[in-house]
Amino acid sequence: MTESVEKAAPTVPKAPPWYATLRQDAPGLLPKVLGLACLALILLVWFLFTRGATPDARPISPSKLPSPGEVLDAFGTATSSGLFDSIIATLMRVLIGFLYATVVGVGLGVVAGSFRAVLGFLSPLVLFGRSVPLAALIPLTILWFGIDETQKQMFIFLASVPFVFSDTVKAISLVPQRYVETAETLGATRFQIVRKVLLPLALPDIVTSLRILFGLALGYIMLAEVINQTGGLGAMIETANRRGNSALSYFLLFVIAALAYAVDWVIHFLQRQAFPYRKDL
């Protein structure tokens, strides 16, 4: 009798493997291994398409795509041309302009996300700012601010602030309404709810948005630095292109990507330390 009952007992279904489950993270260090494998594959394809003793023997001309070794050799040319000074100049321009965008965009975004009348008032202006092509901002900022450092900083500000504002409004709007209702039940004022409920709960997502937008701003500055070339990575790329030094141009693109990755990693690390309760960060 006991044996028959045991045989009839339902078995617990086995969970499907992670690769067969939607939105399931890969275990352990596998995501990093897969990322390295992707980079290795790209490098292999790049090497195969650029190998050859002479330019005629290569599948792709070195003027269009230099080999990985040629790009790496451009480090010496870059350092002798003031690479590190250009990195500092570019980062300072982006940091100052993006700081302005953060103060204005986050400040107004918190107010607009909390008080929908303010959002309705500012929406046409923000929509216009998000829709204006970046290239169109170059002559406008030159007209308003000249061609010196202020122009480059304000270009980053104007290019970034509409997106900082919109993402902040979204983060505020995603805070569950039950927290607001609970605070109201406890007698909190509207401004106390904004300061002690909405902003703290939305802040992790706001920082995530700023991480992404800062990387975009680092790319935007290249457009402004070709004007009145007084240093910066964008000016170096423009000079390399005029001289036909494609290897240096590619090298500088990798430098920009490495900078964006490094800044993102630092902000992400600080973000996880500041908000340890958010396991999804």
Helical packing angle, 199-224 and 149-173, nearest 10°: 150
In the three-class reduction of DSSP (H, G, I as helix; E, B as strand; rest coil), residue 81 is classed as: coil
Query: Rounded CA gap, 199 and 179, in Å?
Result: 12
CATH number of the domain located at residue range(s) 68-274 in this protein: 1.10.3720.10
- Beta carbons within 10 angstroms of residue 62's beta carbon: 15
Q: What is the pLDDT of residue 42?
A: 94
Residue 146 vs residues 8, 54, 163, 276: alpha-carbon distances, Å: 83, 47, 25, 44
CA distance 116 to 112: 6
Contact 126, 165 (CB under 8 A): yes
Which residues, including other chains, have CB under 8 Å from residue 45's CB and lie 6 or more apart? none
Residue 177's pLDDT is what? Answer: 92
Output the six-digit token pair for 2.
């006991």
> What pLDDT was estimated at residue 231?
80
Whether 124 and 68 have beta carbons less than 8 Å apart is answered as: no
Separation CA 80–CA 86 (nearest Å): 11
pLDDT of 5 reads: 52
> Token digits for 100?
């302005």
Sign of CA dihedral 161, 164, 167, 171: negative
Question: Which pLDDT score is estimated for 244?
Answer: 87
Distance CA 145, CA 152 (A): 9
User: 226 and 234 in contact (C-beta within 8 Å)?
Assistant: yes
Q: Which residue ranges in the chain fall short of pLDDT 70?
A: 1-10, 229
Check: CB of residue 254 under 8 Å from CB of residue 236. Answer: no
d(C-alpha 13, C-alpha 115), whole Å: 49
- The two tokens of residue 87 are 């990195």
> Please, what is the angle between helix 246-274 and helix 68-80, to 10°?
80
